[in-house]
Amino acid sequence: MWQLLRTFVWVAVSVELLLVLRLLAALLWHRRMLRGRPSVPDSPPHLVLLLPALREQPIVEETVRHFGQLVYPYDRLSVLIVTTEREEHEYRLAGQNDVVTTSQLVARAIEAANRTLGTTRFLHLHYPYTTGNKASQLSYAVRQLPKLLKDLPANETYIGV
């Protein structure tokens, strides 16, 4: 009888010990997995949206209004509209000096939007060359970002097009 009771106690203690060891192994594995993961930031990353524009007069105001309604922390979002000298050059060559250009409309629209929002969410950058395409405008804008947005930490900033 004592033999049976001793065996029963031994089995119970062994099972209990195995459960404790299994729990410790799971905790160590979980800790090791968490150690390799990057930490979660306390606040959302900075977001810079680049919008190249060429002959966009009909939709400038609507576009600015739409991007002004984005739900994202104001201090973490910048919308940079990049116009180009190419459009103005084409109008001058065609003798259409009285045409209101995309650049002029963008300047007005973002001034009004920033005033309404009470912050500088929108920025305007004019690509100064008459050659190139949207990719050229975007490359130029990325190169100008450190001058335009001086306080943006590179490791917490995302650029969207």
pLDDT for 73-129, tens place per residue? Answer: 878 999 999 999 999 999 999 999 899 999 999 999 999 999 999 989 999 999 999
Q: By the 8 A CB rule, do 101 and 58 touch?
A: no
The reported pTM is 0.73
43, 91, 114, 157, 160 from 121: Cα distances, Å: 18, 30, 6, 15, 15
- Provide the pLDDT confidence category of residue 13 given band limits of 50, 70 and 90: very low
Is 17 or 52 the better-scoring residue by pLDDT? 52
User: What's the pLDDT at 11?
Assistant: 47
User: What's the pLDDT at 33?
Assistant: 63
Q: Whats the size of the chain, residue-wise?
A: 161
User: What's the pLDDT at 16?
Assistant: 65
Q: What share of the chain is helix, strand, coil (3-state, %, to 5)?
A: 55, 15, 25
User: What's the pLDDT at 138?
Assistant: 94
pLDDT tens for 18-62 read 455 465 556 666 666 666 665 556 788 999 999 999 999 999 999
Rounded CA-CA distance 65/69 in Å is 7
Q: Is the pLDDT of residue 140 over 90?
A: yes
